[in-house]
Structure 1
């Protein structure tokens, strides 16, 4: 039994063996978040308030798991009586009423005496949520179908009730860069299981979607044909290398792009960045500001990746902003593939010759060459090789060498080449291809090592 008092003076507490007398609610926050109030709606002192206590309140309110147990009137001070004591829950109770309450807590009494005002109390607050996680599925890194974890079940989200502000929060929570685009109509494929029956109402500045308000039920009759997807920008980029998949490595931290120093930088580190950017395999890991010095903060130094990480931020380093170097030590990489100006797995073929991207003549690009390009891009077998600039005319030079792949190579740079093509090719002959993973228009580009110069 929990007793509340409107008086700040000492008095005698009594207990009676009754149940379900006291209620609990969360006030001044979004659904399933707020200041904890009990009984006749008085507040709870923050002394020793922890995640076990928070878990019980979330459970009692059918609000899922506790996310945090916060203090210091995070959701504002209350105006009613104050629980004179503190909850001491084990965490397994079904209601706060079942927890043992330690009374006459000195911490609470001393704060009450500060000015004789409830405004001086340290009130407890709690955000709890049914949303336990969010992920992007069936797309490259930082892109895909939006799914939220409700309890133990991943559910898709209806495109009619997911907007720019919601997407900004998802990108931020996943450690990706700013939002690029919200896509409806199951752009990343139809999900399975349930479609979420609530609507997110984020302001756009939240750090995680569990902090967003929700409304229920949805007015829309949604199916998996309406699964929403989004594209976030990556939290790592390559700069001043002439393509999206070559250049100086820069990482996004606290909303600002910064550089990486080269102490210990090797091919395993480069492999992680190439994979994160969907740029194929690492060709080279360069040092000493090979692509020019950057500006702004130096975010990472002494990076050590195993090579299997999904993102550079998961690799060990000296810590954000900790370094013993300057911008002349910036790292760079060259990856074997880049994808520009269109959907993945289809487009015009281009190769990097030195520092110049060149198109390839359709007369000297065959099925075996296409097999290797599609394989390198993880795009499945080729569907069709298309000549006559089917994906548009490129710019710059047409490559003056012919690729001779056997068809079983894993990367295009492993194929032999011969120089001095016999054909008089122009951009009207730029070759393109469609791999089986996706069909559409765009630019498909492949790096050839400097050995091919």
Structure 2
């Protein structure tokens, strides 16, 4: 959202709001890469602009590709003031595959690398070498008269590394002098150390038309990588090594959640063994720099506010941060503690950090899709491209692929796909048996069976055994209401004559089939659940509407075979009883303030099912199958586990918060539940005590 400014004749200018309407706003938003406009604004809603008013009386049909294709009075022909500047609010959904082509005066300073000298092998990540910037189609060096830690720290930060290290000049200079030509662009870069990139430092330009214009030496830098990117963690080709058995595990106190790319996401910090968020009051680029370096990345590309990565949950540990930018930890900054009247989870802070470059996106591609966001997955192994076997292909592998390509989150993981081939007709299988956790840097870092065409696919099937993906920029994120679950747990002895429909849905233990129906009863552990969508996209059923199954006994459609798993576990995590909830009605039962419900299944044909962002789907304890049949378990201490979207059939930005576990005591006639928690919210020591 913002005031609309357009570039024409070498200058930026505004648009007058005369005749400004939603059709013109739609054109502007599509030019910016969004799927249309939500609202058009007038009368300088976002403040008056500067410079010329370039367009007036703009009249669009809404189908134009650029705003200048609409009818208007002619460039700079207007009768307006800047208090009439037009604005827009765009839909949050991005157009698939859209990439902005920004033109800025300092664009060359955003393209930086470390170049190893002659005789030194290039390694990824590249930790030391000559500092070079890409300017006017050449990589150019920086003229320097010495080495400065503050300047080197900023350079390393922009390269994705948290710190810089002193380097011996003689190590490089003998090789530097051996070269006859040097291309220079900048000289005398001077930083104070708190900048997030070189363009914010002081520097001078040199004459790029001549060679060897530097009176000193080319600038060299050596960087120290974060723990995740240490060279000892990688084999040849960039594959991660397994952790040594006796290496000490680093205790995390800061992390990023639900980002669509490496080094970005909602910021969370640990206090007293529990993860919580940071309020965006006082959140600025200096604080974001400190957080990124503490995370093991470089400096911050940008600080992010207003829960851009989705609302968190649990405590908000920090607010009113006041960082100088040179602190080693976020907790070293001056800060206040949370007041719930001032901050809530709509104000969670996030960051996007500079990360080391591995060129991992150059070793994977999507082929044959309808747009750049989808296709058959092909990987490059030893200079040869090949397809990926779809055996064991799940949403977690698809998530890694989309992140590796910089295309956001996975929307669908596709098996046995056939997309029209691209430039090459690849039929060879390059990888089989892939098993990812979902947070790997690249698909090649996931455990796999390597190349084994003989075990891929079924020789009797007619479809291809290839894996594919469809990516998206936004994703939902489901989370359960823990207090409601804990407070509603209770027992009920229900007669068998009231359980015929539930039996047809498989909601009773197998022993129920051996009873003398309709006589007798089953003991049920009943409870209510409320599932919130805290992500940035709507949660929709795994099956399309034409695949929903009509259940005659209950008179409703099943849009997902299993939406939630309910399990009773012993203290060794062995399952002793189970239940499930078929998702017969995904809808917006309630919504956060200011959010309107959009999904309602009480319509012919099953309605429109889903959970909108900021809304929740409620299942009350008195609904069929909202229970676990515990008729066969004895008195004792147990755990109850509730897991939403258990098969990860629907893509989410974070699967770690889908599970809730409670301690449960059953004495044969009563139950007690306590310590209900999301395991991902606590450190291991707390979980062991639970």
Query: What TM-score results when the alignment is normalised by the length of structure 1?
Result: 0.36
Q: What is the TM-score when the length of structure 2 is the normalising length?
A: 0.26
